[in-house]
Homo-oligomer: A and B are copies of this chain.
Amino acid sequence: MTDAALLEVLMAITGPQGVLHEAADLAPYLKEWRGKYRSTAGIVVRPGSTAEVAAVVKLCAERGIGVVPQGGNTGLCGGAVAEAGQILLSTDRLARIREVDAEGDHMTVEAGVILAQVQAVAEAADRLFPLSLGAEGSCRIGGNLSTNAGGTAVLRYGNARDLVLGLEVVLPDGQVWDGLRALRKDNTGYDLKQLFIGAEGTLGIITAAVLKLFPRPRSVEAALVGVPDPAAAVALFGRARAEAGGSVTGVELMPRLAIDFALRHVAGVVDPMAEPHPWYVLLELSSPAADAPLAERLEAILAGGLEAGLVVDAAIAASEAQRKAFWHIREAIVEGQRFEGGAIKHDIAVPVAKVPEFLGRATALSEAMVPGVRVVGFGHLGDGNIHFNLNQPVGADREAFMARWEEIAHRVHDIVADLDGSISAEHGVGLLKRDEIAERKSPVEIELMRRIKQAIDPAGIMNPGKMVRT
């Protein structure tokens, strides 16, 4: 089939607005934002309905054409990169909110709805959809589910996979699995939805989902806390859990250097404390009850922490604006780093108690490997998830530094493995870590993954080459 003939058949399925093939139209879909990969596919299809997705996939199955699903194209591991000859299938026109059932605490949305819109629709119904992450203004919920996104609310509400009641999936042969259930309990077979969540589109394309909603927090208290070191941060987290249990909804760890970068480069970032501290914890308590005594509790946690030498200084947000300003510091870290030259990034998790050991060993290693490297290890302490990022030494050659990514990452990941951790806590596998997980996981586990891939996608057309080699 010629490209022209293929375009014609695709247009017959989706209408002309659903098929892009001019370079200028393709550009935003082909670009990968870290610049590590570049798609070379010549066709982007944008189906407007589940039926259109199914028809496109069926066509591709019949002709043996690889299909690469793409949501908001904000992924960090090359999971949505399509090669020449493959079709890039964007979900950006699958953008309907199908149902909001506030009483039943769930909503049904199509894959292409932007995460921030999901949050806003939930809020308009006086509910919370808790998934929250840096890219929420442009990532799409289908991509969040396909990559089992994490973010800042995992400690209390779980990862993306914990927020789903049901799924609709277009399978690799073009059949549609309608698993759009809104049930809290259903033990009538294998939990198929958990197989597609986090599968990065290698087993099918999620086209819609029933999402769990939660009561909105009506009391929120936050503090930015200066602490001497990561061990103190872990101990402070332990105290917070003991004092406030499920009300602890945010525990982010940041080194001073991260704050410096944010202050230097990002508008609106203000240091609320007079003196700098080596490490910071952003600690947030929240409750759906309007009269929860969270302020007293937060003060008690901090007072106890001061007494125990875990806390050097702390600023409690006196207003909603100040609370948002604290989160703005946290969110500005990634942007701040961009202005400091090349950065080699890791997304790791270890058991929470081992975070200090990880940071100590990985920092020492990095400084030994690259004298002058600037270590920015920050992230979701409550989940043991650290974004261990290395900014190049001041004045160093960017290309030469970045060329060492694999060499350094491998050694950092050796430490992670030694601590029984994960080398991809929340960003996934894609192309970036496919071969490394194959090396690090047991042959038994890789064989199980291959068998599942083979069972669901025997022709290998769904997001070929991502996550697991077949």
A residues neighboring B (CB under 8 Å): 101, 103-105, 147-148, 150, 154-155, 158-159, 161-162, 171, 175-179, 181-192, 194-195, 197-199, 203, 214-215, 238, 241-247, 287-289, 291-293, 297, 349-353, 380, 382-385, 420-429, 433, 437, 441-442, 444-445, 448-449, 451-452, 454-456, 467-468
Contact = CB atoms under 8 A, between A and B. Distances in A.
Nearest to A189: B449
Given A188-B422, A188-B424, A179 B445 contact: yes
A452 B422 CA distance: 26
A352 B429 contact: no
B444 A176 contact: yes
A384 B185 contact: yes
A349 B288 CA distance: 26
A353 to B, nearest CB: 5
Contact of A437 (B189, B192, B198): B189
B352 A104 contact: yes
A186 B425 contact: yes
A451 to B, nearest CB: 4
Given A171-B444, A289-B244, A185 B437 contact: no
Contacts of A176: 444
A312 B304 CA distance: 46
Contacts of A293: 291, 293
13 contacts: A104-B351, A104-B353, A148-B191, A171-B444, A183-B422, A184-B384, A185-B385, A187-B425, A187-B426, A215-B245, A246-B287, A292-B292, A451-B455
A283 to B, nearest CB: 16
Given A178-B442, A215-B246, A190 B195 contact: yes
Nearest to A288: B245
Contacts of A423: 188
Contacts of A245: 214-215, 287-289
A188 B467 CA distance: 8
Contact of A154 (B155, B185, B429): B185
B433 A188 contact: yes
Nearest to A244: B289
B452 A454 contact: no
Contact of A185 (B101, B186, B383, B454): B383
A422 B184 CA distance: 10
Copies in the complex: 2
Contacts of A177: 442, 444-445, 448
Contact of A420 (B181, B422, B429): B181
Given A183-B351, A185-B422, 8 more contacts: A103-B238, A150-B185, A184-B349, A187-B429, A188-B423, A214-B245, A448-B456, A454-B455
A291 B421 CA distance: 36
Contact of A349 (B158, B161, B186): B186
Contacts of A452: 190, 195, 452, 455-456
Cβ-closest 10 pairs across A and B: A245-B288, A455-B455, A194-B194, A215-B245, A186-B422, A185-B425, A184-B383, A451-B455, A185-B349, A187-B428
A242 to B, nearest CB: 7
A313 to B, nearest CB: 25
Task: Report which residue of A158, A427, A428, A444 has the largest number of chain B beta carbons within 10 angstroms of its beta carbon.
Answer: A444
Contacts of A101: 351, 353
Tell which of A187, A247, A349, A424 has the most Cβ of chain B within 10 Å.
Answer: A187
A219 B241 CA distance: 15
B287 A185 contact: no
Contacts of A289: 243-245, 247, 297
B183 A190 contact: no
Contacts of A104: 351-353
